[in-house]
Amino acid sequence: MLTNRLMFARDSGLLSLPGSGRLCVFGARSGDDLSLLGADLQVVQTLRPDHDALKARGLDVVTEPTGDFAAALVVLPRAKDQARDLIARAAALVGDGPVWIDGQKTDGADSMIRELRKRATLGEVIAKAHGKLFCVTGADVADWRAAPSRLLNGMVTVPGVFSADAIDRGSQLLAAHLPAQMKGVVVDLGAGWGYLSAELSARDDISELHLVEADHAALACARDNVTDPRARFHWADATTFALPGGADHVVTNPPFHIGRAPDPSLGRAFIAAAARMLKPGGQLWLVANRHLPYETELGEKFVKTTDLVRDPAFKVIHAERPRKKPH
Ligand SMILES: C[S@@+](CC[C@H](N)C(=O)[O-])C[C@H]1O[C@@H](n2cnc3c(N)ncnc32)[C@H](O)[C@@H]1O
């Protein structure tokens, strides 16, 4: 992927970075080998698990770039508007310097090349490992900066966050099946831009509402969308998050993708994390795509599991009494 293309570019003499000055890398993931880019780099990564993994390798990792840069590298995200925004930010950061762009074909690398041909000077395009790596200079893309959008319900979102254009139907179904009374400490695990927490904040008996979200941009939206004083915001990896004192309820629509590939292991890790953080009498409220195989994990981690509803696309599950020891 990125690593393969960088190696190919270096070996064929095409990776020409400025002789001096720092390099800003937007969106590198935990598995990317950035050592080919030299030591003087800063990585902008807003997803907490990748952020932490890159930092653990000794890299300078931030959520917003700091200082001056001679060049930039943008790893294309899936969402097109988010990709345009990152390229506009990179171009503004480096002025006349080069902006390298890397992406899988499935992440729109080819259409980005077509768009940038009209707006920048495009260097040689390296095609390798089902993707493209290329360099642009003088990109005229200031209008690509993304503005937050406001959904019909007044909530703020930004490109790239989960369900940026509308409320997720699965989350809506979960909200409709939550009990009218919920008491004590509630955790919204994978809170996104805060839809479920906004719904929860109508319940008076909740004492604390913890929003746990890995995506820094989504959590920033949630801060705007959930202004309830009981809300606490955690930019954290839900699978390792711990809540001293424990929770009475966990509410979640767990993620079901890692990158592009559907992967139920992340959802299972959310269920295990919920069981860990719930008090002995605690309850989990979960919605998932109907086909996702969570039942075994739920049975191992909870004494009692009830299907509240199944429609053609989703299931809403209520699980009670977390097992604190393996079953
Ligand atoms: C299916 S979405 C649900 C979002 C929100 N609760 C809603 O209903 O609109 C799952 C959320 O989990 C977040 N997420 C993915 N991996 C995570 C992790 N390891 N820790 C915390 N949040 C994560 C995603 O960024 C996404 O916002």
- Name the residue among 316, 217, 236, 144 with its Cα closest to residue 225: 217
Higher pLDDT, 316 or 260: 316
Indicate if ligand 1 lies below 6 Å from the C-beta of 30.
no
Burial of 115: CB neighbours in 10 Å, binned 0-12, 13-18, 19+: middle
CA of residue 84 to ligand 1 center, whole Å: 22
Ligand 1 pocket check for 168: Cβ under 6 Å: yes
- Give yes or no for residue 102 CB within 6 A of ligand 1: no
Read off the pLDDT band of 149 (50, 70, 90). confident
Residue nearest to atom 4 of ligand 1 (CA): 192
Question: What are residue 208's DSSP bridge partners?
Answer: 185
Question: Three-class SS of residue 143?
Answer: helix
Count of alpha carbons within 13 Å of 110, Cβ hemisphere only?
A: 6
* 135 alpha carbon – ligand 1 mean position (Å): 32
Nearest-atom number in ligand 1 for the CA of 168 is: 9
The share of the chain scoring above pLDDT 90, in percent, equals 85
**Which residues, other chains included, contact 246 with Cβ-Cβ below 8 Å and sequence gap of 6+?**
185, 277, 278, 279, 282
Return the CATH number of the domain spanning residue range 2-144.
3.40.50.150
Q: Report the pLDDT value the prediction gives residue 259, as an integer from 0 to 100.
A: 62
Is residue 49 lining ligand 1, measured as CB closer than 6 Å?
Answer: yes
Q: Is the CB of 237 under 6 A from ligand 1?
A: yes
In short, whether 194's Cβ falls inside 6 Å of ligand 1 is no
Give the residue-averaged pLDDT of 300-306. 97
Q: Where are the beta strands (DSSP E) in 27-141?
A: 41-44, 60-62, 71-75, 99-104, 121-122, 126-128, 131-137
Query: Selecting from 3.40.50.150, 3.40.50.620, 3.30.499.10, 3.40.50.300, what CATH number does the domain 149-322 have?
Result: 3.40.50.150
Pairwise CA distance, residues 196 & 218, whole Å:
13
Residues facing 210 on adjacent strands: 187, 232
Lowest mean pLDDT of 2-11, 18-27, 236-245, 257-266, name the range.
257-266
Query: Is 191's C-beta closer than 6 angstroms to any atom of ligand 1?
Result: yes
| 260: pLDDT strictly greater than 70 | no
Residue 79 CA to ligand 1 centre (angstroms) = 16
Asked, colleague to colleague, whether 2-144 and 149-322 share their fold, the answer is yes
Q: Output the residue whose Cα is nearest ligand 1's atom 10.
A: 255
Structure confidence at residue 199 as a pLDDT band (50, 70, 90):
very high
**CA angle, 257 then 260 then 262, to 5°:** 40
Q: How distant, in Å, are the alpha carbons of 80, 81, 162 from that of 108?
A: 7, 11, 18
Average the pLDDT over 275-299 and give the result.
96
Instruction: Quickly list H helices, the chain.
Output: 2-11, 48-56, 80-94, 109-117, 169-177, 195-200, 216-225, 264-277, 295-301
Instruction: Give CA–CA dist 258/266, Å, rounded.
Output: 8
> Does residue 326 surpass a pLDDT of 70?
no
255 alpha carbon – ligand 1 mean position (Å): 5
Q: Is the pLDDT of residue 73 over 80?
A: yes
Say how many C-beta atoms besides its own lie within 10 A of residue 124's C-beta.
Answer: 11
285 or 258: which leads in pLDDT? 285
Q: How far is the CA of 249 from the centre of ligand 1 (A)?
A: 17
Contact between 33 and 41 under an 8 Å Cβ cutoff? The reply is no
The yes-or-no verdict on residue 285 having pLDDT over 70 is yes
Tell me, using a 6 A CB cutoff, whether residue 182 lines ligand 1. Answer: no
Tens digit of each residue's pLDDT (9 = 90 or more) over 76-102: 999 999 999 999 999 999 999 999 999
The conformation of residue 188, written as its DSSP 8-state character, comes to E
User: Per-residue pLDDT for 327 more than 70?
Assistant: no
pTM to 2 decimal places: 0.95
pLDDT > 70: percent of the chain: 98
What type of residue is 234? H
Give 75's strand partners.
102
Distance from the alpha carbon of residue 97 to the mean position of ligand 1, in angstroms: 35
What is the predicted pLDDT for the residue at 115? Answer: 97
3-class state of residue 196 by DSSP: helix
The structural domains of the chain, with segments of one domain joined by +, span 2-144, 149-322
User: Given pLDDT bands bounded at 50, 70 and 90, which one contains residue 258?
Assistant: low
Q: Which two tokens stand for residue 227?
A: 């202004």
CA gap 164, 120 in Å, rounded? 29
